[in-house]
Structure 1
Amino acid sequence: MSWTVSTQPQRVVVSSDDDWSSGICDCCEDKKQCCFGFWCCPCFACQTTKQFGQCMCLPLIDVLGFVHPITMSIRVSLRHRYGIKGTLCNDCLCSTFCIPCVWCQMATEMKKRELPPVLSSELIHQKTVLP
């Protein structure tokens, strides 16, 4: 018996808007999320990263230095996934100087877009039996 994947995962891009649905300083709109992001940013970043479909421990790498490559990478990836305008320079600046705000903005974006953060495992692992 052998298994093959009948459907390959596809990139999800929806560009109903081409700007962020919230500004970098709009994190206080959701008070609960804002408090969690501010008081326990590493935990909030790990949770958001997991919802985005990546390894939840990735943000812990950012603790090691001044530059935050994981925060910036997730921000760039989210921008590309949802078709949001922006520049790598802006992503780098925000990810370096406004960490809790960036994570709150990304979490808000995923909620407002109301898209599944990743393709369901059912679609990815859909298998057919060959004779």
Structure 2
Amino acid sequence: MSANIVIQIIPPSKDWSTELCDCCSDIETCCCGYWCFPCLQCKTTGDFGWCCCLPMVDVCCVVSCCLRSSMRQRYAIQGSCCNDVCTVLWCYPCVWCQMAREVKIQKQGSASATTTVITNQVVTF
């Protein structure tokens, strides 16, 4: 009896792809955030896979903190819940622009990389 086992290697934690106030790295996102901030929020949550209407009910920044924390977990980004809350409360628009840039970068990276997992299980009697 033999079986091939596929092991997923989790990449080490890293920093955000762009800095919090690094708006010049993506002018399109920065302009969208400046001229139509609700549109940026809805697009970011939708691109991340959440309901695009969630930012409309962002009472006390709960949705923002949860989204940022979820992004950190999905993309293996260093940080903590406490850091997320403080950052969201003090730099709300910059946080959303950073999250929008991160989703955009991650989507571009995943579009160019494809993964194929093949599992074979051979059982002899």
Number of residue equivalences: 102
1:36 corresponding residue in structure 2: 32
Q: Which amino acid aligns with 1:102?
A: V
Counterpart selection for 2:48 from 46, 49, 52: 52
SS in 2 for 1:68: helix
Kindly state the Cα deviation for residue 86 of structure 1 after the two structures are TM-superposed: 0.2
SS in 2 for 1:47: helix
Kindly state the Cα deviation for residue 87 of structure 1 after the two structures are TM-superposed: 1.1
1:89 corresponding residue in structure 2: 82
Task: Name structure 1 gaps, 5 residues minimum.
Answer: 1-12, 117-131
TM-score, normalised to structure 1's length?
0.69
Q: Which amino acid aligns with 1:43?
A: C
Share of identical aligned residues, percent?
Answer: 46
Inter-partner Cα distance in structure 2 for 1:74 and 1:31: 22
- Residues 46-105 of structure 1: CA deviation (Å, up to 9, x unaligned): 11100000000000112xx4x211111100000000110001111001111212211111
TM-score, normalised to structure 2's length?
0.72
1:6 corresponding residue in structure 2: none
Kindly state the Cα deviation for residue 112 of structure 1 after the two structures are TM-superposed: 2.1
Q: Please tell me whether the aligned partners of residues 40 and 100 of structure 2 are also in contact (alpha carbons under 8 angstroms).
A: no
Inter-partner Cα distance in structure 2 for 1:27 and 1:72: 20
Inter-partner Cα distance in structure 2 for 1:53 and 1:59: 13
Superposition CA RMSD, Å: 2.2
Kindly state the Cα deviation for residue 27 of structure 1 after the two structures are TM-superposed: 2.0
Kindly state the Cα deviation for residue 18 of structure 1 after the two structures are TM-superposed: 1.1
Distance 1:81 1:31, change over 3 A: same
Inter-partner Cα distance in structure 2 for 1:110 and 1:23: 14
Q: Please tell me whether the aligned partners of residues 44 and 103 of structure 2 are also in contact (alpha carbons under 8 angstroms).
A: no
When Rg is computed on C-alpha atoms for both structures, the one with the higher figure is 2
Counterpart mapping for 1:70-81 below 5 A? 70-81=63-74
1:112 corresponding residue in structure 2: 105
Inter-partner Cα distance in structure 1 for 2:35 and 2:87: 18
Distance 1:32 1:92, change over 3 A: same
